[in-house]
Chains A and B, each alone.
Chain A
């Protein structure tokens, strides 16, 4: 019943010339053979441990046999895996196929290559506890470290020093040097070329770039401070930053503190590029996404990263002395961090800020075309940020928009689309279409200032009514029906009626609010105040949601 069946004993006996082994003997021998085998293996494991190995070799078994004063007969290590063959006539008996070799063949075979001489090489595994990124150290270490850092930072109040101390001699291979030179040259000279795009791909995927990271960060920091006027270069640099951040083989955290100032600069600098025609807005949008990405990826490692960034941005946003471009960058940056940031930081300051902005936006008070354009840009950014935020809220509280409202929203969407062509005509500045559209639409609201005043008044009224809890659903519905009719008329008749429609819509929003009030006072209030501030433009965001719902 043991590990060794009696058959095995018989076969072994036969192999050494005992042909008539009685079954009794075999039965008596089997357990003992098993015991001896285990004994030898136990000793072999000891030898293996003392040879500081984790795999058992034939040598260990030999040593174990000699420890037990048995002639080592176990055999030799072989390169090939052993081939087991089934013994004929026995069900569960296997043996190792051992081919006979001709002496001649063995002797005449060419000598194998002499194995390489054992040698010792020295390297720094760690310098003051930090592993330098050299080929001798495992590359995966860079990927493991973040989680570890996280752990230690959680656990210890005295945290590890995060700055990496580079080895005294930081040797770059010739290839890496060439690579670095080539890339920097590309960045400076031909940022638009396809070659540069290839370079970006390489930067985001190549695994051997870690030694270059300090050089790149230094280069980026230098270039950003040196050439704030060169829009193309700045954009190229930001793209490089993005590629580096996306490279999973690079352990970039130690260099973040060097990178962040440059990135933030590209977001909230007063002037980026020399000419007005250059689309620095796009650069700011791109950088805003980059900042948000950094916060998302490294926020858990450096707990104070996001707070610090948001603080910087909020300062830029709330400082009325700062240029509008800076405001724009700050708003975009904050918006990119997500709706909750917007809700907590932007929305509370929205009303006073818009008051300031209004004067900049209107033709009467601000004669400078460029300034006005900037103001509209900022307005657009704010609208988008607030809209996204409320969109998220609506997603959370679907009850906010009950079914009857949908139709109106649809219609308002229609309005938006019909508005599209005639607004698009008048676009002066380049830029992304949707934001311009939004801007224009809002402009529409504001162009008829009187009506917008009425609008806000009526809205305030309806909110007041809602807060008293006298929401009349029927009334709201009938209003809706009317409004839809009007809206469809409007499509035909044109802009003169639009104002009326808007007014009606604001009423409807009031009724919507009245419904929402019960479900989520907070969100409802938020929505109300937002609509109050932005007018119809806000509705876009529900519309888009409804769209997705219908799709």
Chain B
């Protein structure tokens, strides 16, 4: 090791950093001890030289990275995927280092030469990063900023870790070593290398560190259904009726007598005897029974919000619907009624269907809302056919078959019916949410609060409360009688694209462009779960009626089923080839319907997919089990899905002529 070389390196460093005093002092000292023998420790000398070279080139980044890459690709198969995972953060940080140091040309060429490696799993991120060309952009861009701020946590088995370090030291890849030390938090658990199925960690690069996510997901949540719900009441009623009937049968030996009693029981228990019959047969067929009890088996929780009162009339109709509910299972699929919007000229942004399918609302990019009354449409035809009421019909209907609701000043991105269908909420690019009455056909309230376009709005399952999601990265909880939001949920790193209430109204779930889904406590407004795993923007969310599971769909066509209590993804449901616009659980939670831009409605078996995959069960075989049916539409992307209380599935979409 040439002593002078080291000296030069040190000098150059001091000069560059502007340490003039030190430089002078050193020169002074050197002059004094110029004769002294070289006693610098060779190890240190090496470090010094390496450090000197470190700055002399963006070239080093490239060289060392490509060396590391080649080494990784040639490493042992067992350790390869682990090491490959390390490669991605190293790559983006190298790139950002280069940008930060102002070598934008080199950064660009570096990026281009290696981006192919990472494209399959990180395409969107790479596209974002691609545009970063100056240190200034790094600061500005949330995503890049986030990456710079947080260390990525990666698990690496002991041996892989040693291999990596050994390689880096042997090849004197000081830059790489620096990047890894600085940016990556390597966890080295003892034992075997982990399987590559744990892709979650890779995706965790997006936002806050893995630890934070885990910490958040430790929080306690009560996922059960509301106590004293209608379902519960009905269940009790039926049980009572059943007991009564059984009693009656016990008492009376004679067939006639028991029949009479049963009739009475039927009258007192509820008007529908058929339901009871179903129930009785259910006891014999185990499968039916268990499915029917899914909801009732969920734990009960108290409502944290003040619940609006339900009028007797509404309650009666709801109970009636519950009694007539069709039992759905993997072998009993629902009927699907499809509402096709024709002549929309690509202007339909959203659609929503009331619980009974009687009303359909469409939100258009020309700022209007249009409401179609399906039941009236039938009447109209009848009247015209009669020829008697022609006049009144003509007066009523005018020219249009729909009711036009105008008021927004920007494209309407979401519309939603209240549970009973008397109100409609709409969200628009004009930063407002508007409340409309479907009876009066008029605007009632305009809720201003969001700072940017509002993407989604959802009524709570009990009505009265609603939540909106916006480009301003927040979700806000409102009540109908206040014009200011009650809660603001902030924390997403990008737009909040979709929002959904939990079945018990105590939580809301938000899906975002930052590829995460978060669960928020409505009462406290804090994030209680974070679901990481999507590879793209989350477009739709659905909550299972028993409150235990959540399904979310992204722009790549993947649906993920999550367990709320653990925060884990139970299984990805793959099959769609394009954006999942909408998801819906059947009323008793046995089926999940998904509507996609690939012009299909797919029905998934929830019971199969929520069963935790066992070790011996192969992923592929389990996968196929879950898709029950794909229903293609005639070039109509599916915008909205909704199960009626009687388990009829309504779907809506705009017919688009294939180009």
Listed in ascending order, the chain A residues whose CB lies under 8 Å from chain B are 1-2, 31-32, 34-35, 37-39, 42, 46-47, 49-54, 57, 59, 63, 66-67, 115-131, 136-138, 140-141, 144, 148, 151-152, 155-156, 158, 160-161
List which B507-527 residues lie within 8 A (CB) of chain A. Answer: 513
A161 CB → nearest B CB, Å: 8
B133/A52 in contact, CB under 8 A: no
B343/A124 in contact, CB under 8 A: no
- A127 contacts across to B, CB distance below 8 A: 335-336
> Residue A52 contacts which of B335, B402, B410, B581 (CB distance < 8 angstroms)?
B581
- A32 contacts across to B, CB distance below 8 A: 133-134, 137
Tally of A-B residue pairs with Cβ under 8 A?
181
A138/B634 in contact, CB under 8 A: yes
Q: Which partner residue on chain B sits nearest A158 by CB separation?
A: B331
Q: Nearest 3 CB-CB pairs, A to B?
A: A129-B333, A31-B133, A38-B131
A49/B370 in contact, CB under 8 A: no
B130/A125 in contact, CB under 8 A: no
Supply 12 further A-B pairs (C-beta < 8 A) apart from A50-B453, A118-B348. A2-B133, A31-B134, A47-B411, A52-B654, A118-B341, A118-B343, A118-B364, A119-B341, A126-B601, A131-B631, A144-B632, A155-B624
B633 close to A (CB within 8 Å): yes
B65 close to A (CB within 8 Å): no
B349/A126 in contact, CB under 8 A: no
Provide a sorted-by-A list of 28 A–B residue pairs whose CB atoms are within 8 angstroms: A2-B108, A2-B133, A32-B133, A34-B131, A38-B131, A50-B455, A52-B654, A53-B346, A54-B637, A59-B365, A67-B453, A117-B401, A118-B341, A120-B401, A121-B342, A122-B337, A122-B338, A123-B337, A123-B338, A124-B336, A125-B631, A129-B332, A129-B335, A136-B340, A137-B634, A155-B621, A160-B629, A161-B331
B96 close to A (CB within 8 Å): no
List which B356-398 residues lie within 8 A (CB) of chain A. Answer: 360, 362, 364-365, 370, 372, 374
A124/B335 in contact, CB under 8 A: yes
A120/B133 in contact, CB under 8 A: no
A31-B133, A46-B495, A46-B513 known; A124+B346 contact, CB < 8 A: no
- B408 contacts across to A, CB distance below 8 A: none
A118/B337 in contact, CB under 8 A: no
Q: Please report whether the interface of chain A is mostly helix, strand, loop or mixed according to DSSP.
A: mixed
- B265 contacts across to A, CB distance below 8 A: none
Q: Which partner residue on chain A sits nearest B582 by CB separation?
A: A52
- A115 contacts across to B, CB distance below 8 A: 343, 345
B104 close to A (CB within 8 Å): yes
> Residue A156 contacts which of B335, B336, B625 (CB distance < 8 angstroms)?
B625
Please report the C-alpha to C-alpha distance between residue A210 and residue B346 in the assembled complex, in whole angstroms: 32
Please report the C-alpha to C-alpha distance between residue A408 and residue B234 in the assembled complex, in whole angstroms: 89
> Residue A49 contacts which of B342, B360, B452, B539 (CB distance < 8 angstroms)?
B539
Scan B448-464; emit 1 where CB is below 8 A from any A CB, else 0.
00001101000000000
B340/A123 in contact, CB under 8 A: yes
B100 close to A (CB within 8 Å): no
- A67 contacts across to B, CB distance below 8 A: 429, 452-453, 471
B121 close to A (CB within 8 Å): no
- B603 contacts across to A, CB distance below 8 A: 129
A1-B108, A31-B133, A151-B624 known; A63+B342 contact, CB < 8 A: no
Please report the C-alpha to C-alpha distance between residue A540 and residue B348 in the assembled complex, in whole angstroms: 73
Most buried by B among A47, A125, A152: A125
List which B101-134 residues lie within 8 A (CB) of chain A. Answer: 104-105, 108-109, 127-128, 130-134
Q: Which partner residue on chain A sits nearest B344 by CB separation?
A: A118
A1 CB → nearest B CB, Å: 5
B181 CB → nearest A CB, Å: 29
- B137 contacts across to A, CB distance below 8 A: 31-32, 35
A54/B634 in contact, CB under 8 A: no
A137/B633 in contact, CB under 8 A: yes
- A66 contacts across to B, CB distance below 8 A: 410, 429
Q: Which partner residue on chain B sits nearest A119 by CB separation?
A: B342
- A51 contacts across to B, CB distance below 8 A: 346, 349, 365, 411, 413
> Residue B350 contacts which of A52, A57, A59 (CB distance < 8 angstroms)?
A52
Please report the C-alpha to C-alpha distance between residue A121 and residue B109 in the assembled complex, in whole angstroms: 54
List which B532-559 residues lie within 8 A (CB) of chain A. Answer: 537, 539, 555
Please report the C-alpha to C-alpha distance between residue A89 and residue B109 in the assembled complex, in whole angstroms: 27
B452 CB → nearest A CB, Å: 6
A35-B137, A52-B349, A63-B429 known; A120+B360 contact, CB < 8 A: yes
Please report the C-alpha to C-alpha distance between residue A125 and residue B341 in the assembled complex, in whole angstroms: 14
A167 CB → nearest B CB, Å: 10
- A152 contacts across to B, CB distance below 8 A: 628-629
